[in-house]
Amino acid sequence: MKCPYCQTDNDKVIDSRSGEDGFVIRRRRMCVNCEKRFTTYERVAELEIRVVKKDGSREPFRPEKIRRGLERACWKRPIATDRVEQVVTEIIQGVYMYGKSELASEVIGEMVMEKLVELDDVAYIRFASVYRQFRDIHDFFEEVRPILDKNNLHFDGDSGSLG
């Protein structure tokens, strides 16, 4: 590693720490020539994963799309930002652990849905309404029914009330 100050290729590591849930190693180095310190980060070279969309097209996997979708679903919900980040990290890890160079967008969508149903019912329904592309109120209700059952709530269609 060349020193960013004097360009000499002779340094020593003076401290190493794990970061980003063990996926990065932060190293403090000192140049033997000029004795200045600098930091480097070491991480595994990411696999090139391609997402196969519903129309058959392929695009590179972009974790920021997962983050954006979750942030929209969780907007104005009582969910801590660090919890949303933890869920994003878990989904990204799941994508890489899947072990394939191509992954259907539906698989990623289902990973997100599984995490959201545990996180927050409203965020789950928000995401599901876009992801599942509800055609009408019947589709919406079919997605909501398991959540109502889980919470021991039942919808009375005649009175329009929950009980």
pLDDT tier, 162 (very low <50, low <70, confident <90, very high otherwise): low
Read off the pTM: 0.64
The reported pLDDT for the residue numbered 163 is 57
Residues 56 and 128 in one domain: yes
Tens digits of residue pLDDT in 38-93: 999 887 776 789 999 999 999 999 999 999 999 999 999 999 999 998 999 899 98
CA angle 93/103/114 to nearest 5° reads: 55
Residues 77 and 126 in one domain: yes
Say if residues 127 and 120 touch (Cβ distance below 8 Å): no
**Other CB atoms within 10 Å distance of the CB of residue 66:** 21
Q: Is residue 89 part of a domain?
A: yes
Residues 143 and 104 in one domain: yes
Tens digits of residue pLDDT in 107-121: 999 999 999 999 999
Cβ partners under 8 Å of residue 66, min gap 6: 88, 91, 92, 108, 112
Within 13 A of 44's CA, how many CA atoms are on the CB side? 10
Domain coverage including residue 15: 11-43
